[in-house]
Structure formats: C-alpha cells, structure tokens
C-alpha cells in the first residue's frame, strides 16, 4: 500500500543488534532476550518482565500460572481480538463475554461486575488500541470480589494511567510484539508482573518446566512445561527499538494530535474517548464513521491501508454460545464499534501531507 497502516522502525542500531546476534553464533533465547526483559521491566516500572513467543501464548500461560482451568469462569469483553478469548478456551475454562462502552470501546465495568459469580476466577480486560483501562474502577471490583485481573495489553505498551505505565496495575499484564505494534520483534510477547513467584513460574513454564540452579548439574524439571521462548535474533530487534521508545511514542502522540486537529476541521467524524486520567499510546488511531465499509474499500482502492478496529466475539462462529462460552446481556456497544470503528495509517516518519490525504479521502467519501 502507498500509505501503510504502520511500518516497523528499523534503523542502523536495530540492524547492528541483529547482526551482533547472528555473528555471535548463539541464536536461541539467551542474554539478548534477558536484556530485552530488563529494559522493558525498567520502562514499564514493574517487578518482572518475561518475554515469550506471542501475546496469545502469554495470555494462556498467565491463566495457567493463576491456576485457571476447567470449572472456572473468566470474563472477557466482546469487542477484542479473538486471542483474548482463545486463551480462556485453551486452558479449558468457561468464557463469559460482556459488552463494551461505546465511547471508549473498553469493557463495560458495570456489565463486568454484574457477570461475576461464584465460579469467576479472573477477568481479562483489554487496554484496546492503546487506551488505558480505568484501573481505579477495576481495582475496586477486584477488591470487592477477590478475582484476578489479567490484562490483555497487546496494544498498550507505553500507555499511562494517572502517571503510571500500563503493566504496573494488573496482577499479570501481557503485551504483544507483533509487527502491528510500534515496538516489534516480528512475533513476540511480554508478561509483566510484580509477584516474584509468578515470574519464576512463567520463566520455568516457557522453558519446559525447567529450574536452573547455580550450575548445570543443578538443573531440574520442576513441572510440565512447554517451549514458548523468544529467540535472541528476534529479541535483538525489540532491544534496538527500545533504545528509541520515548521518541517513537512521542511521535505517535504528535501524529495522533495532528489527525485530531485535521478531523475536527471536517466536523464529520467522531473520535473514541480516552479513559479519564489516562494517556493513550495511539498504537491504533481509530475513528467512528458511518458508511465505514464503503470508506474502507474506497481508501484501499486509493492505496491507503485502513482496517476495521477489531472484532465482536459474539458474531464469530468460534465464540457462539456453547457450554464453554456464554454471552451476557446485549452487545450494543460492541455492535456499534464493530460496524463504525476504522483504524487510520500512523507510522514513524509519516508526513503531514499524507495525513491530510487520508483525511481528505474520508471526507470525500462521506460527501458522496
């Protein structure tokens, strides 16, 4: 596409980092992945970060770590990428799907609280598109009902709430490093937690259940595990990008502000709301528009890569009501987002001219 949705940030430092790994001859998970974990931990401001091969496996691991399984219920928002709910099904728990707020597209906190029952073990709220959750509300609910908050922050690296970064509020927070994210390792994910014992469990589980003592002879396999490691080759990309994370995020916010000004001048487009007290990372820049599908096709025809926001789970065959999946109440918020939300191109180095072109193309479609 002539104007892409996002471009990975690959500068000379990123290339050097990858080449260093290739030249070292050690390509599996090792010291570079450990360095990425440390730099991300310090950036987020949490106790531990564990790198894994994707956000989806990270969510599954987090549920296993919290002993969520058959007989338990986990509440998820209807408007999200299906991976949020896939993780629940993968561990054999029952998925309870609730609506989202039509303005923020984040989980409806009243619907969430109403859905909590005696079998509810956890909720997976999603800081969707980089819009942080209302953690004051969530933590009140957690304290009232004693459930875990396992956050799907796939798109929210760098987002903040009341001056603290996403990743420092929930019991376990999982980020994605997929190439649609501004910090990417090609494929990858990060788990953030403050609890030492959970971090130890996650590190062991992703490495076949291994626990390593001071020397090789001290290695034992403590539990059944798997291989969800992130190789040093991939970690090197993210590590190189993390050196520029502040600048890259500032640029995303600057470009988002520019879109907001340009769109305001048109008077035709409504924007989603950012959570009160939150600072959006604008991983995705979303608008609400009528004639969304027509506009989407017309912009793509013009070489402008636009995308729907994300999906309504209750409309996907995989999450139709069954013994393992239950829909609670109506989905008016999610239905609205699924039919009106569109994501605009926003990438490092995007010129004002290109942003104007995107906005003018939308306005021209709306006028027709």
Ligand X SMILES: Cc1ncc(COP(=O)(O)O)c(C=O)c1O
Other C-beta atoms within 10 Å of 2: how many? 10
85 lines the binding site for ligand X (CB under 6 A)? no
Supply 186's token pair. Answer: 């090609």
One-letter-per-residue 3-state SS of 109-154: HHHHHHHCCCCEEEECCECHHHCCCCHHHHHHHHHHHCCEEEEECC
Binding to ligand X by CB under 6 A, coded x per residue (else -) over 97-116, reads: --------------------
Can you tell me which residue has the tokens 């502000």?
A: 257
Pick the stretch among 176-184, 221-229, 235-243, 268-276 that binds ligand X (CB under 6 A). 176-184
Residue 99 CB, shortest distance to ligand X, in Å, is 16
Rule CB under 6 A: choose which of 35, 41, 80, 198 binds ligand X: 80
- Please report whether residue 95 would count as binding ligand X according to CB under 6 A: no
Residue tagged 């403590």 (tokens):
222
Per-residue x/- track, 315-344, ligand X (CB under 6 A): ------------------------------
Footprint (CB under 6 A) of ligand X, residues 251-290 = none
Contact window for ligand X (CB under 6 A) among 30-38, 44-52, 66-74, 148-156: 148-156
CB of 152 to ligand X, least distance (A): 5
In the complex, least distance from residue 265 CB atom to ligand X, rounded to whole angstroms? 30
Q: Which of residues 181-200 bind ligand X (CB under 6 A)?
A: 189
DSSP result, 21-63: HHHHT--SSSHHHHHHHHHHHHHHT-SEEEEES-HHHHHHHHH
- 362 vs 306: CA distance, rounded Å: 11
Question: Within positions 189 to 248, which residues make up the interface with ligand X, using CB under 6 A?
Answer: 189
Q: Which of 17, 41, 165, 178 binds ligand X (CB under 6 A)?
A: 178
Scanning 48-56, 105-113, 138-146, 337-345 for contacts with ligand X by CB under 6 A, the matching segment is 48-56
Residues in the chain: 368
Closest by Cα among 181, 169, 196, 208 to 47: 196
User: Binding ligand X by CB under 6 A: which of 108, 152, 171, 232?
Assistant: 152
83 contacts ligand X (rule: CB under 6 A) = yes
SS3 340: helix
**How many chain residues bind ligand X (CB under 6 A)?**
15
Q: Which of 9, 81, 109, 201 binds ligand X (CB under 6 A)?
A: 81
By CB under 6 A, tell whether 176 contacts ligand X: yes
333 CB-near residues (< 8 Å, 6+ apart): 78, 79, 99, 100, 101, 102, 105, 108
- Say which residues have a Cβ less than 8 Å from residue 23's Cβ, sequence separation at least 6: none
The only residue of 74, 96, 98, 154 in contact with ligand X, by rule CB under 6 A = 154
- Map residue 220 onto helix, strand or coil: strand
Nearest distance, CB of residue 264 and ligand X, angstroms: 27
Reading the block at residue 320, the tokens are 């139709």
DSSP state of 1: -
Among 3, 36, 52, 56, binds ligand X (CB under 6 A): 56
Q: Provide the minimum distance between the beta carbon of 155 and ligand X in the complex, in angstroms, as a whole number.
A: 5
Q: How far is the CB of 310 from ligand X (least distance, A)?
A: 6
DSSP state for residue 285 in the 8-state scheme: E
Q: Which pair of tokens denotes residue 190?
A: 């990060």
Could you list the residues that contact ligand X (CB under 6 A)?
54-56, 80-81, 83-84, 126, 152, 154-155, 176, 178, 180, 189
């Amino acid at each position: 596409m002539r104007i892409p949705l996002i471009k990975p940030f690959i500068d000379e430092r990123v290339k050097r980092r990858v080449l260093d790994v290739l030249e070292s001859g050690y390509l599996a998970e090792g010291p570079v992945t450990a360095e990425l974990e440390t730099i991300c931990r310090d950036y987020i401001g949490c106790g531990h970060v564990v790198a894994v091969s994707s956000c989806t496996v990270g969510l599954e691991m987090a549920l296993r770590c919290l002993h969520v399984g058959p007989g338990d219920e986990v509440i998820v928002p209807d408007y999200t990428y299906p991976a949020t709910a896939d993780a629940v099904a993968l561990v054999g728990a029952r998925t309870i799907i609730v609506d989202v707020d039509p303005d923020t597209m984040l989980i409806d906190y009243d619907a969430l609280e109403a859905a909590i029952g005696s079998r509810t073990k956890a909720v997976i709220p999603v800081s969707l598109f980089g819009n942080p959750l209302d953690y004051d509300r969530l933590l009140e609910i957690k304290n009232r009902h004693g459930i875990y908050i396992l956050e799907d922050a796939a798109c929210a690296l760098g987002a903040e709430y009341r001056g603290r970064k996403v990743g420092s509020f929930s019991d376990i927070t999982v980020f994605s490093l997929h190439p649609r994210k501004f910090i990417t390792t090609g494929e990858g994910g990060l788990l953030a937690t403050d609890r030492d014992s959970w971090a130890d469990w996650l590190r062991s589980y992703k490495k076949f259940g291994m626990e390593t003592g001071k020397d090789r002879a001290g290695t034992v396999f403590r539990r059944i595990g798997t291989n969800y490691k992130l190789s040093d080759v991939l970690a090197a990309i993210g590590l190189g990008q993390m050196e520029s994370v502040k600048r890259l995020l500032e640029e995303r916010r600057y470009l988002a502000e520019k879109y907001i000004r340009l769109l305001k001048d048109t008077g035709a487009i409504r924007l989603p709301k950012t959570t009160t007290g939150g600072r959006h990372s604008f991983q995705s820049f979303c608008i609400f528009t009528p004639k969304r599908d027509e506009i989407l096709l017309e912009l793509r025809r013009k070489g402008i890569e636009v995308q729907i926001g994300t999906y309504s789970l209750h409309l996907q065959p995989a999450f139709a009501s069954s013994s393992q999946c239950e829909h609670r109440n109506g989905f008016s918020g999610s239905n609205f987002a699924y039919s009106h939300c569109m994501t605009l191109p926003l990438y490092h180095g995007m010129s004002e001219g290109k942003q104007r072109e995107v906005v003018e193309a939308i306005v021209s479609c709306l006028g027709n």
